[in-house]
Amino acid sequence: MRFSRFPISTTKETPADAEVISHQLMLRAGLIKRIAAGIYTWMPLGLKVVRNVERVVREEMENAGAVELSMPVVQPAELWEESGRWEQYGPELCRLKDRHDRDFCLGPTHEEVITDLAKTEIRSYKRLPVNFFQIQTKFRDEIRPRFGVMRSREFVMKDAYSFHEDQASLEETYWRMHEAYSTIFDRLGLDYRPVEADTGSIGGSHSHEFHMLAESGEDDIAFSTESDFAANVELAEGLMPVAVEQEAAALEVFDTPNAKTIDALAKHYDVPAASSIKTLFVEDAKGELVALVLRGDHQLNEIKAEKIEGISQPLRMAQETAVKNATGASFGSLGPVGLDTRVVVDRAASVLVNFVCGANEDDKHFRNANWGRDVKNFEVADLRTVVAGDPSPCGKGVLEIKRGIEVGHIFQLGTKYSEAMNATVLDQNGKSVPMTMGCYGIGITRIVAAAIEQNHDENGIIWPGAMAPFWVVLIPLGMDKSEAVATAAETMYADLKTAGVNVAMDDRKERPGVKFADCELMGIPLRVTIGERSLNEGVVEVQGRRDSEATNVALESAVAFVADSLKKH
Ligand code: ATP
Ligand code: MG
C-alpha cells in the first residue's frame, strides 16, 4: 500500500469528547469516524485491524469445528415472540416496521434466528452436534454508548451457537470453545483472563467471560491471590465467616437525630460501619416487602438478591411510603428488630454480635442487638458484593479486585430457546427431545479498542503484531530528489510484497517528522527509513515501535531482516 493513495487522516488534537485513551487514539490515528452516538464508520486503516481480528477468530473457530453462515440483521418479531424476548428485551432492542406495518427488529444477537433454522434443518440426533458461527454487525440501542467502539450501538460480533443431543455433548463443545477463545486471545497478543460469570435467569449451568484487564474496564473481576480463581464480582461468592464467641449485652435504644446513613452513624456516634447493619426493603414477586440486611460496610449485590427464591426479578426496591407503613419509620432508621416481614440476612451480617441497627422509630437506633434473641425469624443468604481482602471462595488466598473489559462470553444455554421455540430432534430411542444449546460471543470491534487500552504510549498505539494494519512502513527520505533512495525504496517495497510481508510505503509529500509521528501514532510495529546518507554506507535504519533506538541493517539483508522479524513475533 502506498500512503500517497491511502487516506491517512491523523490529527494531533485530542478529541474533547473522548474520555478513554483508546477512543482518543482511534480518532487521532484515523481508525474510525463518528456519525451518531455509538455509530461509527471504520476508515480503511481501522478496517484492516478489524479484518485481522476477524481472520484469527475465523481460523480458530474453524479449527474448533464450527461452520460459518450468515444470518440476517433484520429479524421478524414473530421469532422473538416465540422465545418470549419481544416483551422481555426492553429498549435495547431496536424495533421497526415494514411498509405493511409488520414488526421487525435489528438483531442484537441471534438465538431466535439460529434456533428457528436448527428446528427446520435438524431432525435427528445423527446430525448433532453442530456449531454454527457468523461474524456480523449487531445493533443494540445501548442506554449509555461510550468509549467509542468499546460500547457502541452498532458493532461487529462473532457469535456462535451449538446444538446437542444432551448436556454431555454440550459440555464437550463448551470446553472446546473455551480453548479456542484462549488460542484466539493468545494469537492476538492480548493480556486476558477467563472468569466465571453470572448465568442470569437461566441459572445452574456454566458461563465464562473473557476479560482484558484495563483501568477503563466496566466490570469488576475478583481474583484469588493464591490460585487461578477468577470470577466477575456479580457472581463471586461471599463465604460464611466464622462466628466470634462473644457475650450478648442488653439491648439499648439511643437517639440518633442526625444519623440517616451508616457514615453519619460512624461519624457522630462512633459506631464502626462493620459493627452496624443496614436494612433495605425490596419487593417479592407478589409485591410484598422483604427486608434485606447487610453489614454497614457492605453493598447489596442485586444479581444475588434476584436469585433468592420469591424475590422480584428484575429486583424492585420498595417505595418509602410502603416501608413506612410496615415499619413505622423512614429510611435511615430501619432495622430488623420487631419486623413482621420476611427478613433475609447476608452471611457476614449474620455472624455479628451486639450490633447497631435502626430501631424502626425515626431518629432512634438500637445498640447491642443480637440475632435469635432480638430477631427470631430470618433467613441467611449470600447477598453482598465481595470486596478486596475477602477470603477467596476457592478456599485459597484472599480476593483482589481488578477492572476488566469483557471481550468474549461463552454460555451453556441448555434448552431455554429450543423448548420455547419447539426445536426438537428424535433421539437414539426415537423420542422427540429439545436440543441442548450453547452460545459463544466475541466482540470483534470492542477488541480493537481494548487492545489499544493495553498497548499504547505517549506517541500513540502499539499494535500487537497480529492486529497491525501493516507490519512495516518504509519511509524514503527525499525520494523525489534522490534516484538512489527511490530505487532502494521501490526495490525493497516490491521484494517485501513478494516475500508476503504486509508492507506500506510512506511516499506522501510530507516532512520526515510528520511521517515518523504518523507511523508511531498508527502503531506500525516496524519502520524502515531509507535515506541517501545511510545508503552511502550501504545501510537502512530499522526501528521497532517499542525500541528506543534504530538499528542499521545492510541494504542487501533488510528484506530478510524484516521478514524474519515477522516470523519471530
Ligand atoms: P456487556 O455486559 O458489556 O454489555 P453483554 O453481556 O451484553 O456485554 P454479550 O451479549 O455476551 O454481551 O455479547 C457478546 C460480546 O459482544 C461481549 O462479550 C462484548 O465483547 C461484545 N459487546 C456486547 N455489547 C457491545 C457493545 N455495545 N459494543 C461493543 N461490543 C459489545
Ligand atoms: Mg450488554
* Whole-number Å distance between alpha carbons of 219 and 300: 16
Q: How remote is the CA of residue 61 from the centroid of ligand 1, in Å?
A: 19
Report the residue among 151, 190, 406, 413 best suited for mutation to probe ligand 1: largest number of ligand atoms under 8 A from its CB: 406
Judge whether residue 512 has pLDDT over 90: yes
Judge whether residue 3 has pLDDT over 80: yes
Judge whether residue 9 has pLDDT over 80: yes
Binding site membership of 367 for ligand 1 (Cβ less than 6 Å): no
Q: How remote is the CA of residue 400 from the centroid of ligand 1, in Å?
A: 24
- Least trusted range by pLDDT, from 257-271, 364-378, 423-437, 474-488: 257-271
**Per-residue pLDDT, 205:** 61
Q: How remote is the CA of residue 461 from the centroid of ligand 2, in Å?
A: 27
Cβ-contact 533, 466 below 8 angstroms: no
Binding site membership of 405 for ligand 1 (Cβ less than 6 Å): no
What percentage of the chain reaches a pLDDT higher than 70?
A: 99
Please compute the mean of the pLDDT values over residues 521-528 and round it to a whole number. 98
Binding site membership of 406 for ligand 1 (Cβ less than 6 Å): yes
Give the ligand whose atoms come closest to the C-alpha of residue 210. 1
Binding site membership of 107 for ligand 1 (Cβ less than 6 Å): no
Say whether 67 sits in a helix, a strand or coil: strand
Tell me which residue has its CA closest to atom 3 in ligand 1.
Answer: 406
**Per-residue pLDDT, 204:** 46
Residue 388 neighbours by CB under 8 Å, 6+ apart: 398, 399, 400, 401
What percentage of the chain reaches a pLDDT higher than 90?
A: 92
Residue 568 neighbours by CB under 8 Å, 6+ apart: none
**Per-residue pLDDT, 14:** 87
Cell of 159: 457469535
pLDDT in tens, 152-204: 999 999 999 999 999 999 999 999 999 999 999 999 999 999 999 977 654 44
**Per-residue pLDDT, 200:** 62
Judge whether residue 15 has pLDDT over 90: no
* Whole-number Å distance between alpha carbons of 230 and 401: 10
pLDDT band (50, 70, 90) for residue 371: very high
Tell me which residue has its CA closest to atom 18 in ligand 1.
Answer: 408
Please compute the mean of the pLDDT values over residues 9-24 and round it to a whole number. 92
Mean residue pLDDT of the chain comes to 95
Binding site membership of 371 for ligand 1 (Cβ less than 6 Å): no
Q: How remote is the CA of residue 166 from the centroid of ligand 1, in Å?
A: 27
- Report pTM: 0.91
pLDDT in tens, 67-123: 999 999 999 999 999 999 999 899 999 999 999 999 999 999 999 999 999 999 999
More confident position, 398 or 569 = 398
Report the residue among 111, 409, 410, 448 best suited for mutation to probe ligand 1: largest number of ligand atoms under 8 A from its CB: 409
- Which residue bears the cell 407478589? 286
Beta-sheet strands, E only, within 32-186:
32-36, 39-42, 67-68, 74-76, 95-97, 103-106, 130-139, 154-164
**Per-residue pLDDT, 201:** 53
Judge whether residue 125 has pLDDT over 50: yes
Q: How remote is the CA of residue 479 from the centroid of ligand 2, in Å?
A: 51
Look up residue 323 and give its amino acid: V
Residue 494 neighbours by CB under 8 Å, 6+ apart: none
pLDDT in tens, 199-215: 765 444 689 999 999 99
